[in-house]
């Protein structure tokens, strides 16, 4: 006996009339709906699936995917989060053949399901661009936050299996951030700090995440912001503490129609400094520079190419540019790839520093990303966060100089 109202077709799916994968998916969706008090399922416009790296899936995860891939076929546009390696140039990134073999089996299962093998955390930059108000089932936390807060779409932060289930059914349980009553901001954040470089947005995300503590912030005081800043901010603010939704006055569609919460916190310059102090470790020798968390836009790749043109990555240090394959193909055409590779930099398409098997491989990371620092510490690296220029300088000197 279930409390959720199912249509005849949904009930038939649950009864196994549309195959194994759909039946299993309905079981997952109904169980989730029951736990969170959903009354029904709603259609989703697209799905974004995390849990793609073999490092996180292991053999049990691969087996689960292979079982679903027998008859499971996605019903809506479905894209993938980064995998554990560059699917084409994994050797160059030092990935072992054993890992590559398993990762390719994972990708093959997703391909059989009809999923676009896009492997990026910026699906909105490569053609999975939701509409305002559209319901989604996305997994990657930075992308979920971007979809909710910058685009005004509606998605919970799905786990890998629930996103996959939504893709096979084309629906998700109607609870959480799908409902307007759960999208009301509950803390006002007045930003008084000056933000001058990309990494300041990661620091701001850290500061707000810590002060807003699992709330939905209504952010005022932002004077100007660019797409790449928002991309970085979305990754950071949810990593360090908020729900995957914020309202930013002048940015978020519909922010003006929300009441500004009375409970106010402020972000001062000292909060930004405190964020850097907490994110940065005491370290000066850098053996790994990784930019592109979330995945680099073409504009960021252009900036890296301009900064590194005519220079050389120092021996003993690696520079990775993490991006989508789509952005890399544009970079190929524009000549940025040739410039970066001539300097000794490497492209890490389809993957990132958090999901590649890097534990114990590097000692100290330099990056533009607060989220990248959070996850790299789990891979036992010391971390430094700074501007794109500071990161490129670290790549060519092997030192952190600020």
**How many residues make contact with ligand F3S (CB under 6 A)?**
15
Count how many residues are written for the chain: 402
Interface with ligand F3S, residue 240, by CB under 6 A: no
Query: To the nearest whole angstrom, how small is the minimum distance from the Cβ of residue 374 to ligand F3S?
Result: 8
Determine phi and psi for 337, rounding to 5 degrees: -60, -45
* Pattern 355-384, ligand F3S, x by CB under 6 A: ----------------xx--x---------
Interface with ligand F3S, residue 322, by CB under 6 A: yes
Query: To the nearest whole angstrom, how small is the minimum distance from the Cβ of residue 87 to ligand F3S?
Result: 15
Q: In terms of CB distance, is 375 or 400 closer to ligand F3S? A: 375
Q: In terms of CB distance, is 25 or 139 closer to ligand F3S? A: 139
Map tokens 């972000």 to a residue. 267
- 136 three-class SS: coil
- In 3D space, the residue among 50, 86, 47, 80 whose CA is nearest the CA of residue 328 turns out to be 86
Q: In terms of CB distance, is 317 or 376 closer to ligand F3S? A: 376
Half-sphere exposure of 177 (CA within 13 A, CB side): 25
Q: In terms of CB distance, is 65 or 234 closer to ligand F3S? A: 234
Applying the rule CB under 6 A, the residues between 111 and 130 that interact with ligand F3S are 121
Query: To the nearest whole angstrom, how small is the minimum distance from the Cβ of residue 275 to ligand F3S?
Result: 17
**C-alpha dist (Å) from residue 42 to 18, 73, 102, 155, 224:** 18, 19, 35, 11, 36
Asked if 365 contacts 289 with a C-beta cutoff of 8 angstroms, the reply is yes
Determine phi and psi for 369, rounding to 5 degrees: -110, 125
Q: Two tokens at 114? A: 């009809």
- In 3D space, the residue among 142, 155, 279 whose CA is nearest the CA of residue 210 turns out to be 279
- 198-212 and 269-279 helices, crossing angle to 10°: 100
* Pattern 259-298, ligand F3S, x by CB under 6 A: ----------------------------------xxx---
Interface with ligand F3S, residue 207, by CB under 6 A: no
Interface with ligand F3S, residue 304, by CB under 6 A: no
65, 137, 208, 235: residue in contact with ligand F3S (rule CB under 6 A): 235
136, 352, 385, 395: residue in contact with ligand F3S (rule CB under 6 A): 352
Query: To the nearest whole angstrom, how small is the minimum distance from the Cβ of residue 81 to ligand F3S?
Result: 6
Asked if 183 contacts 245 with a C-beta cutoff of 8 angstroms, the reply is yes
- In 3D space, the residue among 220, 223, 396 whose CA is nearest the CA of residue 311 turns out to be 396
Query: To the nearest whole angstrom, how small is the minimum distance from the Cβ of residue 355 to ligand F3S?
Result: 6
Query: To the nearest whole angstrom, how small is the minimum distance from the Cβ of residue 337 to ligand F3S?
Result: 19
**Cross-strand partners of 266:** 190
Interface with ligand F3S, residue 391, by CB under 6 A: no
Interface with ligand F3S, residue 185, by CB under 6 A: no
**Burial of residue 392 (number of CB atoms within 10 Å: 0-12, 13-18, 19+):** buried
354, 365, 370, 381: residue in contact with ligand F3S (rule CB under 6 A): 354
- 227-239 and 298-308 helices, crossing angle to 10°: 100
| Chain positions contacting ligand F3S, by CB under 6 A | 81-82, 121, 140, 142, 235, 293-295, 322, 352, 354, 371-372, 375
């Amino acid at each position: 006996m279930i409390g959720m109202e199912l249509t005849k077709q949904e009930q038939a799916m649950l009864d196994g009339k549309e195959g194994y994968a759909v039946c299993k998916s309905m079981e997952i969706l109904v169980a989730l709906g029951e736990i969170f008090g959903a009354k029904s399922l709603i259609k989703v416009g697209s799905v974004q699936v995390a849990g793609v790296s073999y490092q996180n899936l292991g053999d049990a995860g691969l087996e689960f995917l292979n079982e679903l891939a027998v008859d499971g076929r996605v019903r809506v546009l479905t894209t993938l989060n980064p995998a554990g390696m560059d699917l084409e140039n994994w050797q160059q990134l030092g990935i072992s053949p054993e890992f590559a073999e398993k990762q390719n089996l994972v990708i093959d299962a997703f391909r059989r399901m009809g999923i676009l093998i896009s492997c990026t955390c910026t699906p909105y930059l490569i053609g999975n661009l939701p509409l305002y108000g559209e319901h989604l089932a996305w997994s990657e936390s930075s992308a979920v936050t971007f979809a909710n807060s910058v685009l005004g779409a509606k998605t919970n932060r799905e786990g890998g299996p629930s996103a996959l289930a939504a893709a096979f059914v084309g629906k998700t349980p109607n609870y959480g951030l799908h409902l307007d009553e759960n999208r009301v901001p509950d803390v006002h954040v007045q930003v008084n700090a000056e933000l001058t470089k990309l990494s300041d947005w990661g620091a701001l995300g850290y500061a707000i995440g810590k002060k807003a503590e699992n709330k939905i912030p209504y952010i005022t005081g932002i004077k100007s912001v660019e797409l790449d800043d928002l991309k970085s901010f979305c990754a950071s603010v949810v990593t360090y503490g908020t729900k995957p939704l914020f309202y930013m006055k002048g940015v978020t569609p519909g922010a003006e129609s929300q009441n500004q919460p009375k409970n106010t916190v402020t972000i001062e310059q000292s909060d930004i400094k405190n964020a850097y102090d907490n994110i940065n470790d005491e370290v000066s020798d850098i053996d790994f520079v990784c930019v592109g968390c979330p995945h680099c836009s073409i504009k960021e790749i252009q900036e890296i190419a301009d900064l590194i043109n005519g220079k050389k990555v120092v021996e003993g240090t690696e520079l990775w540019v993490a991006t989508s394959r789509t952005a890399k193909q544009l970079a190929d055409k524009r000549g940025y790839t040739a410039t970066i590779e001539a300097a000794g930099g490497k492209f890490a398409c389809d993957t990132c520093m958090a999901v590649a098997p890097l534990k114990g491989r590097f000692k100290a990371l330099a990056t533009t990303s607060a989220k990248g620092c959070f996850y790299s510490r789990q891979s036992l690296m010391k971390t430094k966060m700074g501007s794109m220029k500071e990161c490129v300088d670290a790549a060519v000197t092997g030192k952190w100089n600020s």
